[in-house]
Amino acid sequence: MSKLLSVSASLALQVAEMSRARAAEPPAAPVGSAAAPTPSPARDAAPPATSPEPLPPIDVGAWLRVGARVQGTDPKGLDDQSIDTIYAQLHTLARVHRQVSLTLNLNANGLAKSVNLMDAIIGFDFADPIHLWLGQLLVPVDRSTAAGPFFMIPWNYPGLLSVGATRVVMTPKTGPSGRNAGGVVWGDVAGGAFKYFAGAFDSGDITQSPLYSARLAVDFIGKEPGFWGNSTYFGRKTVVALGVAAQFQRRGSAALALPPATASPADNYRELSVDGLAELLVGPGGWMTGEAAYYHFAGANNAVKDAFFVLAAIASPRLGWGNVQPMIRYQVGKGPQVKVWSVDAFVSYLITGSILRATLGFQRVHLDKETTGNAIQLGVQAIYF
């Protein structure tokens, strides 16, 4: 009898184990359909080796500047006013590969009713010290070109002086919005404490020689990694930096018209510049900024052969929504037959640094004894990243 009970218990245990095994199996596929696959925990836990690597989402940003000027038909008078700036940029950045980026930026001028392609860049980012960017992109030269109007303290870009229809240009050669068609090799060394740039650009014109432009920058205090640049960090970091740049273009200077209706051969264009930036934190929430740059031009296209500017600004600790920042900038340009200068004195209210700020200031421009202009400038800037 005991043997019979033992056999029965063993049989019952085997039946229970078989029932549990069947319960763990996937249900059978209906007749006439493909068999359902059996899950494989090891396979499902990790994607196949051929699966693409996840890439970050596309970054989209919108930037806007609106400005008004108080100045009459007589450039010396302050008896009229007008909107002089409605300028916007649309920025997009995407990663199509872990080491390949795509940048597409547009700009629009509301007064001119125009929309333009600003940046169209394919970037090969091999490592921090080695990048190759191709397309239409920023010409690497001085700090002001890299910063652009959105990331500098003054409202107006340096080196562009005008009174009425008279205009004097004392800036490096670039293109619209500081861009041109070509390629740049650049890199960050020591985390951005040292940067180099070397580019060649042709404006899409096969009849012109390429414009070569190069820049070296070193940060003695702080680090500034990345391709783009700033002329202020709005109190986010302490920076003391120095940059040197040079440009060359064979026959890149305009030919001089000579009577009778002939022209001399175009000169080679050469430019050399040095720029420095110091921004130091002062007290609780304030900072002070000093910036300077010197330019030397060789070639017939520049009436000004030597130019420089100096700038000083100080930002208060936070008052209400933001910081109050007075600024003064002095610019001078000299040539064989010309000497020009301008003074800008502005006060800005920085609600969120460059992201949201308002400015009010006075500018005096002197091109010669008979060509002098005074203007009051107002401006508001907003950026969405």
Mean pLDDT over each residue of the chain, to the nearest integer: 86
26 within some domain:
no
9 within some domain:
no
36 within some domain:
no
- Amino acid making up residue 368: D
Asked if 251 contacts 209 with a C-beta cutoff of 8 angstroms, the reply is: yes
What is the pLDDT at residue 337?
Answer: 84
50: pLDDT strictly greater than 70: no
Q: How far, in Å, CA of 303 to CA of 45, rounded?
A: 69
- Number of structural domains the chain divides into: 1
Give the tokens for residue 35.
């068999």
What is the pLDDT at residue 368?
Answer: 84
374 within some domain:
yes
Segment 91-97 long-range contacts (CB within 8 Å, at least 24 positions apart):
91/59, 91/60, 91/61, 91/62, 91/63, 92/58, 92/59, 92/60, 92/61, 93/58, 93/59, 94/55, 94/58, 94/59, 95/55, 95/56, 96/55, 97/55
> Which of the residue ranges 33-47, 130-144, 151-165, 317-331 would you say has the lowest mean pLDDT?
33-47
44 within some domain:
no
What is the CATH number for 173?
A: 2.40.160.10
- Amino acid making up residue 257: A
Give the tokens for residue 184.
């740049």
What is the pLDDT at residue 23?
Answer: 39
Placement of tokens 């030919």 in the chain: 255
User: Using 50, 70 and 90 to split pLDDT, how confident is the model at 157?
Assistant: very high
What is the pLDDT at residue 216?
Answer: 98
47-54 mean pLDDT: 60
Placement of tokens 């205090």 in the chain: 221
Which DSSP state fits 33? Answer: S
2: pLDDT strictly greater than 80: no
Give the tokens for residue 312.
């000083």
9: pLDDT strictly greater than 50: no
Q: When comparing pLDDT for 72 and 287, which is higher? A: 287
110 within some domain:
yes
Domain hosting residue 328, numbered range? 56-384
pLDDT tens profile 279-316: 999 988 999 999 999 999 997 667 899 999 999 999 99
115 within some domain:
yes
Q: What percent of the chain has pLDDT over 90?
A: 72
Give the tokens for residue 271.
């430019």
Q: What percent of the chain has pLDDT over 70?
A: 83
49: pLDDT strictly greater than 90: no
19 within some domain:
no
What is the pLDDT at residue 363?
Answer: 97
